[in-house]
Amino acid sequence: MKKRSIRETDVTGMTVLVRVDFNVPMRNGTITDDSRIRAALPTLQMLGGSGAKVVICSHFGRPGGQVIEEMRLTMVRTRLSELLGAPVRDAGGPSGETPAQVASALSAGEFALLENLRFEPGEEANDAEFSNHLASLADIYVNDAFGAAHRAHASTVGVAEHLPAVAGLLMERELEILGKAMIADASTSPVVAIVGGAKVVDKIQVLWHLSEKVDTILIGGGMVAAFFVAKGHSGGAALVTDEDAAAANGLLESGRADAIIPVDVITAPDFSERSPATTCEQSSVPNNQLILDIGPATAKKYSEVISAAKTLIWNGPMGVFEWQAFAAGSEAVARAVAANKMATSVIGGGSTAEIVGSLGLVDQITHVSTGGGASLEFLEGKILPGVAALDDAP
């Protein structure tokens, strides 16, 4: 069901509570990547421009319901203010009386930011009292935190029971693009999903759900071993349980999407950066070697499939991309996805976003999802509680 959007809602003169995901990477008190703050700007600017009084809230890190000085949103507020080109008041809190005082003192078009929501134990517990407190700060609630939509917390679910609740522009875009990418029809086909990552257990639900929706799935990452075993080959030194192999076999035999597995792989005797790399054919992985990347013939084959796609969904690296010797497969796939200018390309998952980011290819991708866990759950076909809690579109 489509959700009501902020675009269809008149907020003039209203106080709006906006849930964003400002859980940005930080090192030694400095923000190392402000993309998540930038991603929320369209919604915040639209609200400010419409004359709303904008109360912003976000979680940051895992303070576990207590105040941790290093997890205050002070740096985030400064950066947000710079990017908005407008002051952002400190709304304090997140509980207590200060937020309401600051909110009621805002003029039309002004912004305030609450302190880290997870300083309050009621946030992650989806506590009714804290939900009520958040709702009492505003006339309407906007959720633009796609990255937190898979969590049923007070600021993503509880608060929506008490206020008109609508999707922000980022939330709307995430849902629209991810949703559309998973429907193979005349306008989107061929839809090719590329799925990698560390373990088959983490991705089997994604594979299973996608196999119902897309035309082709290209398989990489740590789960390749399970697929080799399912095919009757050696999976090398990795532990492949009967359950993993059965899951892989189930997908290959399902007759759903065409699941393509590597024809060759890069292996090494140890799980370490400097372990000597060897290229092996699909059927000849030695029992004492670990599969750590897809091989060059596979990278070429996958790139060809990618270049013919009209829609591309990529979640999970093809190999241990953090180590140079095992990064070539992920890099080849990233370049092929970026080079296909005819396709709508969608990237989900933190590692995958990191790969395209480090190669400077973000601008050549249609959409890099801001939600790691949330995009994964979306691709698994799960209902995201933070989305379900929003009002349905009229």
Site residues (CB under 6 A) for ligand AMP? 196-198, 202, 221-222, 291-292, 316-317, 319-322, 349, 351
User: Judged by CB, which is closer to ligand AMP: 162, or 233?
Assistant: 233
E strand or H helix that includes residue 84: helix 74-84
To which residue do tokens 């639900």 refer? Answer: 205
User: Judged by CB, which is closer to ligand AMP: 196, or 386?
Assistant: 196
Query: Which residues have a Cβ under 8 Å from the Cβ of 178 and sit 6 or more positions away?
Result: 313, 346, 348, 367, 369, 375, 378, 379
Nearest distance in Å: CB 294, ligand AMP: 9
Query: Which residues have a Cβ under 8 Å from the Cβ of 233 and sit 6 or more positions away?
Result: 282, 283, 285
User: Judged by CB, which is closer to ligand AMP: 16, or 333?
Assistant: 333
Nearest distance in Å: CB 209, ligand AMP: 15
Nearest distance in Å: CB 25, ligand AMP: 15
Strands lying side by side in the sheet with 216-219: 258-260, 216-219, 191-195, 311-315, 344-348, 367-368
To which residue do tokens 């953090």 refer? Answer: 322
User: Judged by CB, which is closer to ligand AMP: 158, or 317?
Assistant: 317
Nearest distance in Å: CB 333, ligand AMP: 12
**Residue 236 near residue 291, CB atoms below 8 Å:** yes
User: Judged by CB, which is closer to ligand AMP: 305, or 318?
Assistant: 318
Nearest distance in Å: CB 77, ligand AMP: 30
Q: Which residues are registered as beta bridge partners of 216? A: 192, 258
Q: Which residues are catalytic?
A: 36, 199, 350, 373
Task: List, as one string, the DSSP characters of 242-277.
Answer: HHHHHHHHHHHHS-SSEEE--SEEEEESSSSTTSPP
The distance of Cα 17 from the centroid of its chain, to the nearest Å, equals 23
User: Judged by CB, which is closer to ligand AMP: 169, or 229?
Assistant: 229
Nearest distance in Å: CB 173, ligand AMP: 22
E strand or H helix that includes residue 155: none
Among positive and negative, which fits the CA dihedral 103, 108, 112, 118? positive
| Residue among 195, 258, 266 nearest 236 (CA) | 266
Nearest distance in Å: CB 218, ligand AMP: 13
331-349 burial, b at 16+ Cβ within 10 Å, e below that, comes to bbbbbbbbebeebbbbbbb
User: Judged by CB, which is closer to ligand AMP: 63, or 221?
Assistant: 221
Task: State phi, psi for 276 to the nearest 5 degrees.
Answer: -65, 130
Residue nearest to ligand AMP (CB): 197
